[in-house]
Amino acid sequence: MGSLEMDGLEIEGGIPLHGDIYVSGAKNAALPLLATGLMCDGTLTLTHVPDLADTRLMIELLAHHGLDIGFQDGRVSMSGPATNMDAPYDLVSKMRASILVLGPLLARYGEARVSLPGGCAIGTRPVDLHIRAMQKLGATVELADGYIQARAPKGLTGNKIVFPFVSVGATENAMMAAACASGTSQIVNAAREPEIIDLADCLNAMGARITGQGTDTLTIEGVASLSTATHRVVADRVEAGTFIMAAAMTGGSLTVRDIIPHHLDVLFDVMRQTGVGIDIGDNFVTVSANGRYQAQNVETQPYPGFPTDLQAQFTAMMCLAEGVSQISETIFENRFMHVPELVRMGADISVDGRTAIIRGKDALLPAPVMATDLRASVSLVLAGLATTGTTSVSRIYHLDRGYAGLETKLGACGARLRRIHQS
Ligand code: UD1
């Protein structure tokens, strides 16, 4: 294990956060948007791209495919053609979203060889829906040596794709592939996440003909090619939601800026029910907390439901609520890895299958804890911020995958965080 993997964060907690905090572009929008660069006959420029381990990895993958790509000050410019159709195991295994190159390569070049992502800490996360969507569009797909080998030498053909359940990534792959298929496609039971709308908007700016984004049915009239465009990445609603809960848990007051408030409607409803003050502006929200808040139950659901990517943070928040809350995770199995770590900090949580029962306490205790995935790790940071004393979170490399400048942003609002380089 390299020293970077051992980096930790020391948190001097118990300080209410106050001030303004600015939200970056969304990781989960940026990753598919970057992949569309493979389909662009011209130059695709993305702005407000968050500087994260995951976006850098996607940029590395696109460079590996042969794109001429540069990233500076939140701006990515890329142009083709791609010369290498292989997405190798060593890159794909580091980031599951690498599977998003499958649709673009197949649509634009008629072939793709993409490693299967392999195991993942938050469940098995298969890619069968992605593969079936490509087959529906006329590709032949073989699985051999751990690779998806897909071919459509005469191009893809539009078709109706009906997903048995909602998948964000499979919707994105299908939409990108169908954008350059011949004829019209329909994607039924499509994901409705804001990141899907953002991707459709960018593809349309490149010349695609997509309608229905934000609803459960997408209609895509295939076009022969996509060309030069500039697109700004939508705000990160998960990062915003994390800061909102940080303010509540520390009993502080934060104005979270550069957001699209209606993307967080469900979180605002839940926060108001807990008694936390939520004051919404046109592109910001002011969160104010005073003392303890009430327990609330939530169940994760595809958008517009409560996001699974905010479940770990909300679990941490409920550890300090008044009363008992029940949190059900319906999207991923095995997404409660933060629970044993929160219990080490004195939380009272029991997990039964996909439901966690949390009996709120008036305080947690500092302890050394370990991050196991991106959202779990930030939930431990939130718990540390709300706990008097020094909490050390190890393996925080997960944090760098999804939170740009976290220590700087929180530090400017009064948090005391220190990164520890361990050898
Ligand atoms: C995306 C997000 C991730 C978020 C998740 C759910 C990105 C880069 N990541 O992940 O942060 O937690 O949406 O909101 O945008 N599934 C299958 N077969 C498939 C595809 C998915 O069974 O072919 C299952 C998954 O295992 C999971 C469920 O479908 O149980 C939903 O996953 P999906 O929406 O596809 O998540 P991702 O796109 O991987």
Q: How confident is the model at residue 4 (pLDDT cuts 50, 70, 90)?
A: low
The boundaries of the domain holding residue 265 are 2-23+235-421
Residue 262 shares a structural domain with residue 374? yes
Look-up of token digits 């499958």: 102
Residue 224 shares a structural domain with residue 281? no
Q: Is the pLDDT of residue 407 over 80?
A: yes
Category of 350 on φ-ψ map: left (φ > 0), alpha (ψ -120 to 50) or beta: beta
Of ligand 1's atoms, which has the minimum distance to the CA of residue 191? Answer: 34
pLDDT of residue 186: 98
416: CB partners within 8 A, 6+ apart? 11, 12, 13, 15
The CB of 167 under 6 Å from ligand 1? The reply is yes
Q: Is the pLDDT of residue 377 over 90?
A: yes
pLDDT of residue 98: 96
Lowest mean pLDDT, pick from 86-95, 121-130, 171-180, 254-263: 121-130
- Nearest residue by C-alpha to atom 15 in ligand 1: 28
Please tell me which residue in 40, 120, 319, 413 is annotated as part of the active site. 120
Task: Please tell me whether residue 376 adopts helix, strand or coil conformation.
Answer: helix
Residue 64 shares a structural domain with residue 18? no
| DSSP conformation letters of 264-290 | GHHHHHHHHHHT-EEEE-SSEEEEE--
How many Cα atoms occupy the beta-carbon half-sphere of 246 within 13 Å? 31
- Residues belonging to the chain: 423
Question: How far apart (Å, rounded) are the C-alpha atoms in residues 162 and 53?
Answer: 33
The CB of 119 under 6 Å from ligand 1? The reply is no
Residue 18 shares a structural domain with residue 48? no
pLDDT of residue 423: 62
Q: Ligand 1 centroid vs 168 CA: distance in angstroms?
A: 6
CATH code at 200? 3.65.10.10
Residue 203 shares a structural domain with residue 257? no
Question: How far apart (Å, rounded) are the C-alpha atoms in residues 147 and 8?
Answer: 34
The CB of 115 under 6 Å from ligand 1? The reply is no
Lowest mean pLDDT, pick from 90-94, 213-217, 355-359: 90-94
The reply to whether 202 belongs to the active site is no
Q: How confident is the model at residue 2 (pLDDT cuts 50, 70, 90)?
A: very low
The CB of 173 under 6 Å from ligand 1? The reply is no
Q: Is the pLDDT of residue 414 over 80?
A: yes
**pLDDT, mean of residues 68-80:** 97
Q: Is the pLDDT of residue 35 over 60?
A: yes
**pLDDT, mean of residues 170-175:** 98
Q: How confident is the model at residue 124 (pLDDT cuts 50, 70, 90)?
A: low
Q: How confident is the model at residue 118 (pLDDT cuts 50, 70, 90)?
A: low
Name which of 360, 358, 236, 343 is nearest 294 in CA terms.
360
Q: Are strands 217-221 and 209-211 parallel, antiparallel or unpaired?
A: antiparallel
pLDDT of residue 33: 98
pLDDT of residue 397: 87
Q: Which of 306, 331, 334 for mutating ligand 1's site (highest number of atoms within 8 Å of CB)?
A: 331
Q: Is the pLDDT of residue 3 over 80?
A: no
Q: Is the pLDDT of residue 413 over 90?
A: yes
Q: What percent of the chain has pLDDT over 70?
A: 97
Look-up of token digits 């046109």: 282
Residue 253 shares a structural domain with residue 217? no
**Looking at the 3D structure of the chain, how many domains does it have?**
2
pLDDT of residue 1: 40
The CB of 402 under 6 Å from ligand 1? The reply is no
Determine the straight-line distance between the first and last CA of the chain, rounded to whole angstroms: 10
- Listed residues 173, 201, 232: the one ending a domain: 232
- Listed residues 232, 249, 271: the one ending a domain: 232
Q: How confident is the model at residue 5 (pLDDT cuts 50, 70, 90)?
A: low
**pLDDT, mean of residues 244-259:** 98
Q: Is the pLDDT of residue 386 over 50?
A: yes
Q: What percent of the chain has pLDDT over 90?
A: 90
Residue 241 shares a structural domain with residue 155? no
Average pLDDT of the residues of the chain: 95
pLDDT tens by residue, 314-352:
999 999 999 999 999 999 988 999 999 999 999 999 999
Q: Is the pLDDT of residue 170 over 90?
A: yes
